Amino acid sequence: MNVRVETVDRIESIYVPREWAFAVGRKAEIDAHWAKLTAQKPLLYDGRVLLIDRYEIVERDGQRVLTTRHFPTNYRDFLAWRDFGFPDQTVRNCFAAAALLSRDDVFLLGEMAGHTANAGKIYFPAGTPDMGDVSANHAGARVDLAGSVLRELAEETGITAEQVQCEAGWTVVFDGPRVGCMKIARSPLDAAAIIAQVDAFLRADAQAELVRLHAVRRANDLRPDVMPSFVVAYLDRMLSRMNDPVQPAG
């Protein structure tokens, strides 16, 4: 599967509710699949999440802008679409991820807990956006992916918005049915201090989404066996740039 990495200055996302033919037409299969999943992992929650059915990178006012259009569906529908092999290829899972970076230039990723839908996978704090990321104003309903970055970071690690500095711009990884919108969240702490802080947070919560953090300092630290391909592609690009004094790290 081809993976494409792009940089954009900003993301503009709108919310347009509609019915999803996949969820309606295969409801019985989806419900049966959900029953099996929750029998194994009863902590799974069938909330409303947002997928996209349109995206484009455009030039606007001298900037590169990723535009996305989101619609809502149930989490059970999303997992069935994923587990059935992404049968509706007009839809993508577009999500924001906090690329947590320490003061000493170490990327820190989380290992997902056994009770989650992605048990054992290692990637940055991230999640498919949900209705909490939707806001409305005179211009219509918008999806706040930048806010989703900070929300997922806090929920999964306990690190709050006040404890990091998000860098400008985004690195967007197009990986088949996934569109990963990666934003660097820089901590003033070194890697060891962040790991200790997050470990304490995780030990205090029996239902924490993560088991532990993993440090990535160099290419040898990449784990394609448990890191999704969009994560490997992103880290490969960023590590190469950080190690090349000619290239910017952003």
The number of CA neighbours under 13 Å toward the Cβ of 123 is 23
Q: Which of 105, 95, 245, 232 is nearest to 167 (CA)?
A: 105
Residue 136's pLDDT is: 81
Cα separations in angstroms, 70 against 16, 57, 90, 160, 243: 6, 15, 12, 26, 36
pTM of the model: 0.92
Domain boundaries along the sequence of the chain: 3-242
Domain 3-242 CATH class label? alpha beta
Per residue in 181-224, pLDDT (tens digit) is: 999 999 999 999 999 999 999 999 999 999 999 999 999 999 99
Number of helices (H), then strands (E), in the chain: 6, 14
The pLDDT of residue 71 is above 80: yes
What whole-number percentage of the chain has pLDDT above 70?
Answer: 96
The pLDDT of residue 28 is above 50: yes
Residue 138's pLDDT is: 60
Mean pLDDT calculated for residue range 123-142: 89
